[in-house]
Chain A
Amino acid sequence: MSEFTLWDIVYNLLLAARWTVLLSLTAFVLGGLVGLLLLMVRTAGNPWVVRLVRAYVELFQGTPLLMQLFIVFFGLPLIGLDVSPWVAATLGLTLFTSAFLTEIWRGCVESVGKGQWEASASLGMNFTQQMRYIVLPQALRIAIPPTVGFSVQVVKGTAVASIIGFVELTKAGTMITNATYAPFTVYGCVAVMYFLICYPLSLFARHLEGKFRNVAR
């Protein structure tokens, strides 16, 4: 059996934390793209599409993230796709993120006054132009603080990916605990590392909120 110093523990956790960051970034970017797509088709206003997107959001907000990952991880092989924990975790977290972001952004788009839509329509703009030049630029300003705030949820969500066997920070913590029998130290270090990733994001979100409130006044 090998001896683990505190530095060995921290060093190995830091190596694993790279995967937490990478998974968070991938899920956040891809989830943002899917969320934007859902927002566009939902705002375009076909009632069936609206209902479908609402059901999608309800499904992902009303079930545990762990179950979503399990279904992706165990479901895709049934239709002949061989998925690694990395692919399953990325796909599951992307869907999860897209559902939450599209719901956050919907509120922001709805807060843009109806007059803006009508004015741009009277200038002969089509839906894409209205979104691109009139509505999204205004909605974006309101959307940034809650979006940054939600990124914290994505980072914390990646911890659940450890359960389907993806080796990120939490999984590495479990593996190192099994080798060192020092759960208090190891999980303490794991918690500190998550905190170091998430707390700056939280502070940034709060800073943006304050900034926006001042602009609005």
Chain B
Amino acid sequence: MAYKFDFGAIVPHWELLVDGVILTTELTVIGAVIGVGLGIMGAWARASRAPVISQIVGIYVELIRNTPFLVQLFFIFFGLPALGVKLSEFQAAVLAMIVNLGAYSTEIVRAGILAIPQGQIEAAQSLAMNRVQIFRYVVLLPALKKIWPALSSQIVIVMLGSSVCSQIAAEELTFGANYIQAINFRAFEVYFVVTGLYLVMSILLRMGLKVLGNFLFERRRHV
């Protein structure tokens, strides 16, 4: 029996896919902004001279980096209500992405900070800059510039990873795909098209992050 492909069967449901793309984008943008922010704070804590905080952050990083995102998501969505923390599907998905990206970006930003030569910090001190100024202008910005490509790849990985959020019924792109194939039984066609959508999204995201990197770091060179 030869199978007849019918990609037309997806067309009537195109709005579900658009909704999914929008929600996946929202998840990614919120997760990336807060997650990277968390990562910068984590890296600062790791670099600081407070050993207890540094160790706590270290444990957080190792715990997250050595467990699957799907399990983290299930733990947050199904497990936390036992502690009285009830989250909606969207909130749980965003929180899982923030916590996940926070750990990875802590390590990435830390690597950038460690690559800053000690002499630069001493030079800034001799210019009487205070600690916050030094961290912001002398350590963080050059460090971020250095690790921006690695950070960008990690953000793309987190965006792609968000497809498992369909498992807690967060209505992102994969959820839309599951929904459509449950209506028209065209599983292969639907997933094929959605895979293409993800590919386009990841290429666009990577390009967008490159432009953002240029905007953030190149222009300040002469300031």
Contact = CB atoms under 8 A, between A and B. Distances in A.
6 contacts: A66-B166, A156-B67, A160-B70, A162-B70, A194-B68, A195-B67
B11 interface: no
Contact of A184 (B83, B167, B192, B198): B83
Interface in A23-71: 59, 62-68, 70-71
B198 A191 contact: no
A184 B69 contact: no
B215 interface: no
Contacts of B191: 67, 70-71, 74-75
Nearest to B174: A66
B82 interface: yes
Secondary structure class of chain B's binding surface, majority of residues: helix
Q: Which 4 A-B pairs have the closest CB atoms?
A: A159-B68, A183-B78, A198-B66, A64-B163
B187 interface: yes
Interface in B175-219: 177, 187-188, 191-192, 194-195, 198-199, 202-203
Interface of A: 59, 62-68, 70-71, 74-75, 78-80, 152, 155-160, 162-163, 170, 173-174, 177, 182-184, 187-188, 190-191, 194-195, 198-199, 202
B74 A174 contact: yes
A159 B167 CA distance: 12
Contact of A78 (B3, B70, B78): B3
B7 interface: no
Interface of B: 1, 3, 62-63, 65-72, 74-75, 78-83, 156, 160-164, 166-167, 174, 177, 187-188, 191-192, 194-195, 198-199, 202-203
A188 B65 CA distance: 15
B199 A71 contact: no
A83 B217 CA distance: 50
A111 B2 CA distance: 48
Nearest to B164: A66
Contacts of A195: 63, 66-67
A199 B74 CA distance: 20
B55 to A, nearest CB: 16
A162 B167 CA distance: 10
Given A74-B187, A159-B70, A191-B72, A64 B160 contact: yes
A170 B71 CA distance: 7
A194 B177 CA distance: 29
B78 A187 contact: yes
A71 B12 CA distance: 21
Contact of A191 (B3, B62, B67): B67
